[in-house]
């Protein structure tokens, strides 16, 4: 049975990264049905049922493995912005993938980079992963820009199946050592998220 308790996992200066609440589900469904959002992902708008299934799957991933594509909320007003987190992509079961999906009206504010930074800190500092990947296709220039801001570099190209759709993917990666070096260069010290 899925629990919709909104448990805070990580916090950043502007965001709370948490499990989903029931009241997030219609907002998440609207995001997943938005053609502007889904166009960047190369897919069709999702049904409410499919969207709810993704949220339930994310909650199950958190319960089972302490990873998942979880909710992103703004700290100042608790506004639901979208999702971000870590998961195992079927084509790369040994790796963790960092991924994000935000509502169109919240693009361009740096939220994806901020949320992904916290999850990468968690992947390397808490889960002790040796590397993390991120997958998109060439037309998704916004996600590619986030990957560059995160210091991820192109690892390779491959045909990848995601949710029944085959696409030509660009797989980016960063290692624990590369991530820590980049964080030190940026701030003089690894910032790390606040883990609850």
pLDDT in tens, 44-63: 899 999 999 999 999 999 99
Question: Domains of the chain (ranges plus CATH)?
Answer: 8-195 (3.40.630.30)
Q: How far apart are alpha carbons 4 and 26 in whole angstroms?
A: 13
Q: pLDDT at position 194, please?
A: 54
Q: pLDDT at position 175, please?
A: 97
The reported pTM is 0.91
Rg (CA), the chain: 16
Quick: pLDDT tens for 78-123. 999 999 999 999 889 999 999 999 999 999 999 999 999 999 999 9
Residue with tokens 């693009």: 107
State how beta strands 15-18 and 194-195 pair.
Answer: unpaired
Q: pLDDT at position 10, please?
A: 98
Worst-scoring range by mean pLDDT, 41-45, 141-145, 155-159, 187-191? 187-191
């Amino acid at each position: 049975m899925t629990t919709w308790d909104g448990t805070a996992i990580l916090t950043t200066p502007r965001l709370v990264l948490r499990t989903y609440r029931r009241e997030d589900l219609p907002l998440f469904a609207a995001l997943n049905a938005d053609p502007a959002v889904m166009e960047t992902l190369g897919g069709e708008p999702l049904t409410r049922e499919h969207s709810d299934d993704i949220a339930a799957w994310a909650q199950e991933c958190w319960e089972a493995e302490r990873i998942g594509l979880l909710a992103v909320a703004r700290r100042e007003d608790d506004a639901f912005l979208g999702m971000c987190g870590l998961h195992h992509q079927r084509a790369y079961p040994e790796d963790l993938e960092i991924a994000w999906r935000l509502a169109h009206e919240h693009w361009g504010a740096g939220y994806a980079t901020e949320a992904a930074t916290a999850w990468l800190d968690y992947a390397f500092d808490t889960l002790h992963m040796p590397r993390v990947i991120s997958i998109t296709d060439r037309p998704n220039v916004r996600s590619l820009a986030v990957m560059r801001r995160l210091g991820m570099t192109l690892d390779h190209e491959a045909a990848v199946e995601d949710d029944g759709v085959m696409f030509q993917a660009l797989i980016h990666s960063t290692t624990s050592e590369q991530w820590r070096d980049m964080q030190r260069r940026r701030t003089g010290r690894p910032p790390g998220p606040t883990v609850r």
